[in-house]
Amino acid sequence: MQEFIEFTLGGLSDGMIYAAVGLSLVLIWRGTRVVNYAQGGMAMFTSYIALIVINAGASYWLAFAVALVSGLVLGAVLERVVVRPTAGKPPLNAVIVTIGLLILIEGVAGIIYGSKNRSFPAAYSIVGAKVGNFALGAGSSPSAIFTAASVLGAAVLLAVLFRFTPIGLRMRASAFSATVAQLMGVRVGRMTTLGWALAGLIGALAGMLVTPQTFLYPNSMDSIFVLGFTAAVIGGLDSPVGAIVGGLILGVLLNYVTGYVGSNLPELAGLAVLVLVLMFRPSGLFASTATRQV
Amino acid sequence: MTEAASLTVTDVVAGYGSAPVLNGVSISALPGTITAVLGANGAGKTTLLRTISGFVRTRGGQVTMDDVSLTRLAPDRIARAGVAHVPEGQGVITELTVEENLRLGLLLRTRAERAAALDDVYRRFGSLADRRRRLAATLSGGERQILVIARALLSAPRVLLLDEPSLGLAPRIVAQVLDLIRRLRDESGLTVLLVEQNARGALSIADRGVVLNLGRIVAEADAAALAADVQLRQHYLGF
C-alpha cells in the first residue's frame, strides 16, 4: 500500500510536468495546426539561461523569472522569424522547420555550454513527507507540491485568459476560424505570435520544474518532450484540459511501470502508450473534432 | 449606430490563380441604401464581396469608402475601418457560445459601449438572448444567420456586406431575414451591399440592383426597374 501511494503521488508530480509540455504543444496546435517539435529544445535552452543567472550569483527566483520571460520572447521570435513563413504552405514544411529548429537549438546549446551534464537546483526540498513511519515518497515533497501548484496555476491563468478576457476571445476566434476572426478585425498574426509566446513560457516552466530531476544537457528535454507530446495526444491535442488529464494519466501509469515492472521501461512504456492511443483513440479523450490533420 | 458611408468599387479586376473572376466591375452604394448584387452561380458575386473585404487581392481598380481607399488593405484593417462582412454559410464559430460569438463583434467597440450594445442586440433579437450560453453549434440555420448579422451590427459598421443570407433557409425564415435587412436600412440608415441568388426577394427590399454575369456588370438600375424588366429577369435572374 505504501508503495502504491508513493508511486501514485510520484506519478502525479511527474504527470504535471508532462502536462505542462503537453499544454505548450496544445497552445500552438490550436492556433496554427503545427506540432512544435522544438518545444523541448526551447525549454532546455531557457533552463540554461536560468542556470547562467544562478551561477552569476542571482537568486533562484530571479533565474526562474528570467527563464519564463526568455521562453516568452523565444517563442514569439521563433514564430515571427522562422515559423510564420511556412503559413499557407504544405503542413510538412512546418514539421521540417520545427525539427530543424530543435537540431539548431540543441546544436547551439552544445556549442555554447558543452555537452556535459550539469546539476540544476530545485526550488524546494525534494525529500518526501512522512506520516508517522509511513514515507510518501518524492511525490509528496515540497518540490513536487510546487510543481503541481505551478502547473495548475499556469493552467488556471490560461483558462481565465481564454475565457474571460477580450485577448483570449481573440486568440480562440483566431484558432477556430482565422477568416471569421479577421472579419471581426482581429490581427490573427499577432494572436499566433502570442500563442507561441505563451507556449514558450509554459515550456520554460516545464524545463525549470523537470531539470532538477534530469540534469541539464543539450538533449535533456528530448524524452520529456515525447512524454509531453503523448500527454497532449491522450488529451486530444487541441484540448488544454485534455493535456493536463493526459499528463496525469501518463505520469501515474509510467510510475507504476517503473515501480512494479522495471525502472528501465518507462520511456518504452510511454512510446507504447503513444502508439496505442494513435491506433485506438486517435482523436484523444477530449478532442473537439473527430478527425485530425496529420 | 455609426454614420453610414458610401462604398465605391471602380473598375475592379480580381480573381483566383491566373484567371480573373471580376473584369472591370464598378458599383456605387449610397449611404443608407440597399444595393442588391444579383446573378447566377459563378457570376462573381461572392468574389466581389471578398475583394471588398480584402480576402481577394485586386489586380486593378479601386475600392473606396467615403473617399478613403480600402484597396489592398488586409481584411482585419478593412473590418476596423467599418466594413462588416457576413460571409456565406460559415460565419458562425460553432465552438464558441452565442454570447462569445456576439462579443467578437464588440471587440471593435470601446469598453464603455459594449454592455449597452449587447443589451440592445438582445432586446432586438430575443431568440439569441434565450440561447446566449449555448454553443453556436446548437443553433438552427436561421438562428445562425441572425447571429452573424447581429454580430456584424455589434461592430457598428458603416457598410454591411451580406453574402447569400437566405441560402439554405426555409421560406418563412428567408422572409424574416429579408425583413431584418430592410429594417436595418430604415431604422439604422445602414449601407448594405446584398449578394443574393434569391433575386425576387432581394429586389423586393433593395433600392438599387446590379446584375453580374461572368465577372461583368450587365445591368444596373433601380430595384423596381430591374424587377419589371421581363427580358433581364428571364435571362439572368431566373424568375
Give yes or no for residue A292 having a pLDDT over 90.
Answer: no
Q: Where are the domains of chain B?
A: 7-90+157-237
Give yes or no for residue A253 having a pLDDT over 90.
Answer: yes
| Residue B39 DSSP code | -
Closest of B107, B199, B114, B111 to residue A183, by C-alpha = B107
Show Cβ contacts of residue B123 under 8 Å, excluding neighbours closer than 6 positions: B129
Report strand pairing: B216-222 vs B58-65. unpaired
Interface with chain B: mutation pick from A171, A184, A188, highest number of B CBs within 10 Å: A184
* B91 Cβ under 8 Å from any chain A Cβ: yes
Distance between alpha carbon A14 and the CA centroid of its chain, in Å? 12
Q: How far is B91 from chain A (nearest CA, A)?
A: 6
Distance between alpha carbon A294 and the CA centroid of its chain, in Å? 20
Distance CA A235, CA A282 (A): 10
Which residues of chain A form beta strands (DSSP E)?
130-131, 134-135
Residue A184's pLDDT band (cuts 50, 70, 90): very high
* A183 Cβ under 8 Å from any chain B Cβ: yes
Distance between alpha carbon B163 and the CA centroid of its chain, in Å? 5
Report CB contact under 8 Å: B53, A183: yes
Of B77, B85, B96, the CB nearest to A172: B96
Percentage of residues of chain A with pLDDT beyond 70: 97
Distance CA A236, CA A229 (A): 10
Distance CA B127, CA B134 (A): 12
* B93 Cβ under 8 Å from any chain A Cβ: yes
CATH of domain B7-90+157-237: 3.40.50.300
Q: How far is A217 from chain B (nearest CA, A)?
A: 41
Q: State which amino acid sits at residue A35.
A: V
Q: Tens digit of pLDDT per residue, chain B (239 long)?
A: 567 789 999 999 999 988 899 999 999 999 999 999 999 888 999 999 999 999 999 999 999 999 899 999 999 999 999 999 999 876 899 999 999 999 999 999 998 999 999 999 999 888 899 999 999 999 998 899 999 999 999 999 999 999 999 888 888 888 988 999 999 899 888 999 999 988 999 999 999 999 999 999 999 999 999 988 888 888 777 77
Q: Which residues of B touch A179 (CB under 8 A)?
A: 55, 87, 90
The residue assigned the cell 522569424 is A81
* B50 Cβ under 8 Å from any chain A Cβ: no
Cα three-residue angle A241-A242-A248, rounded to 5 degrees: 95
* Residue A293 pLDDT: 42
Cell digits for A272? Answer: 507504447
Distance CA B25, CA B17 (A): 18
Of A172, A177, A186, the CB nearest to B76: A186
Q: Which residues of B touch A165 (CB under 8 A)?
A: none
Distance CA B198, CA A175 (A): 33
* Residue B188 pLDDT: 85
Q: Which residues of B touch A289 (CB under 8 A)?
A: none
The residue assigned the cell 440597399 is B34
Q: Which residues of B touch A180 (CB under 8 A)?
A: 87, 90-93, 104
Closest of B56, B6, B1 to residue B159, by C-alpha = B6
Percentage of residues of chain A with pLDDT beyond 90: 70
Return the minimum-mean-pLDDT range out of A101-105, A169-173, A267-271. Answer: A267-271
Indicate if the alpha-carbon torsion angle B80, B84, B88, B94 is positive or negative. positive
Report CB contact under 8 Å: B75, A182: yes
* B96 Cβ under 8 Å from any chain A Cβ: yes
Residue B122 has a CB neighbour count (10 Å cut-off) of 17
The residue assigned the cell 445602414 is B190
The ipTM (two decimal places) reads 0.90
Residue B229 phi/psi, 5-degree rounding, is -85, 95
CB B92 within 8 A of CB B139: yes
pTM for this structure? 0.86
Report CB contact under 8 Å: A176, B96: yes
Report CB contact under 8 Å: B90, A170: no
Sheet containing B58-65, strands listed edge to edge, beginning at the edge strand earlier in sequence = B19-29, B7-16, B58-65, B68-69
Report strand pairing: B191-195 vs B159-163. parallel
* Residue B168 pLDDT: 80
* B229 Cβ under 8 Å from any chain A Cβ: no
Distance CA A60, CA A68 (A): 12
Cell digits for B23? Answer: 473584369
Q: State which amino acid sits at residue B71.
A: T
pLDDT digits (tens, 9 = 90+) for A41-59: 999 999 999 999 999 999 9
Q: How far is B133 from chain A (nearest CA, A)?
A: 13
* B104 Cβ under 8 Å from any chain A Cβ: yes
Report CB contact under 8 Å: B74, A182: yes
* B189 Cβ under 8 Å from any chain A Cβ: no
pLDDT digits (tens, 9 = 90+) for A124-177: 988 888 888 787 788 889 999 999 999 999 999 998 998 999 999 999 999 889
**End-to-end CA, chain B:** 36
Residue B216 has a CB neighbour count (10 Å cut-off) of 14
Q: Read out DSSP for A195-237?
A: HHHHHHHHHHHHHHHHHHHH-B-TTTTHHHHHHHHHHHHHHTS
Report strand pairing: B159-163 vs B7-16. unpaired
Report strand pairing: A134-135 vs A130-131. antiparallel
Of A166, A169, A185, the CB nearest to B76: A185
Q: What's the CATH fold of domain A2-280?
A: ABC transporter involved in vitamin B12 uptake, BtuC (1.10.3470)
Q: Which residues of A touch B51 (CB under 8 A)?
A: none
pLDDT digits (tens, 9 = 90+) for A206-238: 999 999 988 999 999 999 999 999 999 998 888
